[in-house]
Structure 1
Amino acid sequence: MKLEGYYSSGQFARLANVSVRTIRFYDAKNILKPSYIAPSGARFYTDSDLARLQQILLLKYLGFSLDDIQKLTIKETDLPLMVNSLRLQKKLIQDRIEQMEQVEQAIDSTIEEIRDSHEIDWSHMLHLIHLTNRENRLRRQYQDASNINARIRLHRNYSVNPQGWFPWIFQQCHIKDHAKILELGCGNGALWYENIEKIPPNCHIILSDISSGMLSDARRNIGKDDPRFTFEQFDCQDIPYDDHIFHLILANHLLFYLDETGHTLSQVCRTLLPDGTFVCSTYGRHHMREISELVTGFDRHITLSDEILYYKFGLENGKNILSEFFSSVECIQYEDSIEIHDPQPLIDYILSCHGNQNQYLLDRYRDFRNYVEKQTKKGFHITKEAGIFVCRP
């Protein structure tokens, strides 16, 4: 049977340089289903199926499990989605290259230690074991990078306020030369690389995050050779620094994710100088509400967040929470909104959220894209309600 634009399983396997058995295995595991099944049961694939196969083979090469691959790839393919996917795959490859370079350095160091002392330094060996046992972190790093980049793109490219969120926050910090600064939960370092020319030359800025993947992104975006920056991985609920050493501590959209907000705030107070400043940001109850209404209009079962973050720490209750730790708390709101006609950045944002949306949308991606296209055709307005608290001891 000959179908125009379709390949049989055998043709598709030869085209991709894999075995027919591999194609059948991915079909059976519901990872790569054929685009058409003939009444006879014969399977047929298209050129667009090659894009999904490329993602599958790359993630498999990088050590992801089949369950992970099923969750990290999308069945439908269009050009914007493919570009975004390839960018993320490039970032993942960069992370793996950095990891392998660290493994190489650790092996060289261990060999040199054995040659010089004729014995094994078991702390070096333990470090090597830890480096070579990091594959289980890759899925989380891949997802973190995908999610934060999708959210930043939507805000950066479609917000009405021309100043932008990160330049605005930087302006509110009033950073002076020789300041010692700590950012908790730095993410990909956007606050700093978007303001890199404005940073005084003699500052010491410590960027911290619990995710090694986020720190790798931040280091890559800012540059490894900028002497003003150091990068440290730790949990912000246990800040590993001496008392009263920082002029400025920042927590951008972080506190509402914490289980023990009060414990982190006490750590901030301990490490902040008596005349220092703590700047933290959060949302209000109306922030991005039109996006939630959009997805529930498509499927009422979808929720974009497992919990309502502004209930834990928001513009409405943040001052009361912070006033237990700081004598002065000032709320400054950022005036902005989003106006968008392009559906793809909005879809990327929705898929990046922390709720249950992917279990309802990934199998219906084409229908959902058509739905969003109709909703955004005449323009789509999104409310932004965000701001910062400026706190002093």
Structure 2
Amino acid sequence: MMKTGDLAKIANISLRTLRYYDKIGLLKPSQIAPNGYRQYNEEDLIRLQKILLLKKLGFSLEEIEGMLLEKDPSWIDSLKEQIGLVDQKIQYFQLLKETIRKTIEIVERNGMSVEKTVQLLEIISKDDQLVEQYKNSKNLHVRIRLHHLYSTNPIDWFSWLKEQIDFSKGYRILELGVGNGDLWIEPKVDLRNREIFLSDISEGMLEDAKKRLSDDFSFMQIDAQNIPFKKDFFDLVIANHVLFYLNDLSKGLNEIYRVLKKGGVFYASSYSKSHMKEITDLAKEFDSRIQLSQNVLPDVFGKENGEKLLGSFFSQVERKDYNDTLVIDQAKPIVDYIISCHGNQNEILSGHIREFYQFVEDKIKAQGAITVTKEACLFIAKK
């Protein structure tokens, strides 16, 4: 066992920092001796190492608290995850170093140019984007994993989705919002003699998809509201749980309609207002101020209004429903899911994540499991 001073010395941090971590619940001592001395063990030291590295990589203490929620983390898995984060930082600094070197050469020959200054500023700003991209990727993985682990429907969402899409006449295909590329793992289509463009507005998501998929695909960073292709170009366009994130839905639909050929098909998925409602209710029961999304996404584009919205652009619109239930008997996946959402939950739960974790655990113990409704759908729109 180590006293506070011993742990601070080993980790090369101040006593004040360690006491602050104790105060906010980020790193509590394993035990407190009868004389009041706080004592830490090897597991506490391991936890502190991860805290310090994640802080060095740019994460806030609130975000780190959520990332360390698991009671019995695998140290090997933890280290592997940290290697991925460090690799991203190394790539960034290598790019920055090379840009500075080239800038020095240009300045020595011709003086500093506005163009080179702007380029350097853009690269410097990417350091802040790395952490944001990692969070986006991790959050998507958390949400998908919850469905993989606890769905009761024997046919998972992506398998069902692949069965609904008619790839037979799709020789030029565009997916908007590819995420981590799950739709194209074990594709239902022969990739030969086809041009398949996978896009996302997030550079980090696009990098994730590239790592998982083959060179048979073309990857592009695209905003669905401004698609850089000519009119009547694609046979199929796919937007899986994407449209409700657009700032201007009409502009996005107009762009999708424009790039589709006559007779082309647009596949757009969404969900109902009741989808995952039990998760929202659980969060609000803990604190009524929590909003898991800045907007009510199905109000923007959902099961209830999607057909009408698409009908303003497309001649034929059909809806197919996918229903499922999650039966969740562990607290951590629920808490991780809630933390991963796009609302104000992290701000409100800051400093209270352990308390919230215990709240969810108590609910599961009382009920045996938490049952969650899934009501997703796919709209098939023909031009």
What is the TM-score normalised by the length of structure 2?
Answer: 0.84
Structure 1 residues 178 and 256, CA gap change in structure 2 (3 angstroms):
closer
Q: Are 1:348 and 2:336 counterparts? A: yes
The offset of 1:303, in angstroms, is 2.5
In 2, Cα distance between equivalents of 1:146 and 1:375:
26
Structure 1 residues 260 and 104, CA gap change in structure 2 (3 angstroms):
same
Structure 1 residues 160 and 102, CA gap change in structure 2 (3 angstroms):
farther
Contact 2:167 2:189 in 1 (8 A): no
What is the TM-score normalised by the length of structure 1?
Answer: 0.82
Q: Are 1:20 and 2:14 counterparts? A: yes
Contact 1:244 1:272 in 2 (8 A): yes
Partner of 1:130: 122
Contact 1:48 1:77 in 2 (8 A): no
Contact 2:201 2:223 in 1 (8 A): yes
Contact 2:133 2:204 in 1 (8 A): yes
The offset of 1:102, in angstroms, is 5.1
Partner of 1:58: 53
Structure 1 residues 369 and 255, CA gap change in structure 2 (3 angstroms):
same
The offset of 1:78, in angstroms, is 1.3
Structure 1 residues 365 and 73, CA gap change in structure 2 (3 angstroms):
closer
Q: Which amino acid aligns with 1:386?
A: A
Of 129-138 and 142-151, the range deviating more from structure 2: 129-138
Q: Are 1:8 and 2:3 counterparts? A: yes
Q: Which amino acid aligns with 2:204?
A: G
Partner of 1:150: 142
In 2, Cα distance between equivalents of 1:84 and 1:318:
41
Q: Deviations over 1:279-316 (max 9, x none)?
A: 11111011011112222233333222222111111100
User: Residue 310 of structure 2: which of 315, 322, 326 is its match?
Assistant: 322
Structure 1 residues 105 and 248, CA gap change in structure 2 (3 angstroms):
farther
The offset of 1:232, in angstroms, is 1.1
Structure 1 residues 76 and 286, CA gap change in structure 2 (3 angstroms):
closer
User: Residue 369 of structure 1: which of 357, 361, 365 is its match?
Assistant: 357
Q: What is the correspondence of 1:23-62 to structure 2 with a 5 Å cutoff?
A: 23=17, 35=29, 45=40, 47-62=42-57
Q: What is the correspondence of 1:46-195 to structure 2 with a 5 Å cutoff?
A: 47-62=42-57, 64=58, 68-74=60-66, 78-80=71-73, 88-100=81-93, 110=102, 127=119, 130-176=122-168, 179-192=171-184, 194-195=185-186
In 1, Cα distance between equivalents of 2:130 and 2:248:
26
Contact 1:186 1:207 in 2 (8 A): yes
Partner of 2:347: 359
Q: Are 1:290 and 2:278 counterparts? A: yes
Q: Deviations over 1:49-97 (max 9, x none)?
A: 43443233223443x27xx344343475512597886565344234334
Q: What is the correspondence of 1:215-364 to structure 2 with a 5 Å cutoff?
A: 215-222=206-213, 226-364=214-352
Contact 2:276 2:373 in 1 (8 A): yes
Q: Deviations over 1:87-123 (max 9, x none)?
A: 6534423433444565577689x59x98xxx879976
Contact 2:62 2:350 in 1 (8 A): no
The offset of 1:23, in angstroms, is 3.5
The offset of 1:268, in angstroms, is 0.5
In 2, Cα distance between equivalents of 1:204 and 1:94:
31
In 2, Cα distance between equivalents of 1:331 and 1:178:
20
CA RMSD of superposed structures (Å): 3.5
Structure 1 residues 310 and 124, CA gap change in structure 2 (3 angstroms):
same
In 1, Cα distance between equivalents of 2:150 and 2:16:
43
In 1, Cα distance between equivalents of 2:285 and 2:310:
37
Structure 1 residues 30 and 290, CA gap change in structure 2 (3 angstroms):
closer
Structure 1 residues 287 and 199, CA gap change in structure 2 (3 angstroms):
farther
SS in 2 for 1:13: helix
Q: Deviations over 1:23-47 (max 9, x none)?
A: 4596599695654899999765554
Q: Which amino acid aligns with 1:261?
A: L
Structure 1 residues 142 and 306, CA gap change in structure 2 (3 angstroms):
same
How many pairs are equivalent?
Answer: 378
Contact 2:22 2:28 in 1 (8 A): no
The offset of 1:334, in angstroms, is 0.9
Unaligned runs of 5+ in 1: none
Structure 1 residues 368 and 85, CA gap change in structure 2 (3 angstroms):
farther
Structure 1 residues 359 and 126, CA gap change in structure 2 (3 angstroms):
closer
Unaligned runs of 5+ in 2: none
In 2, Cα distance between equivalents of 1:97 and 1:221:
21
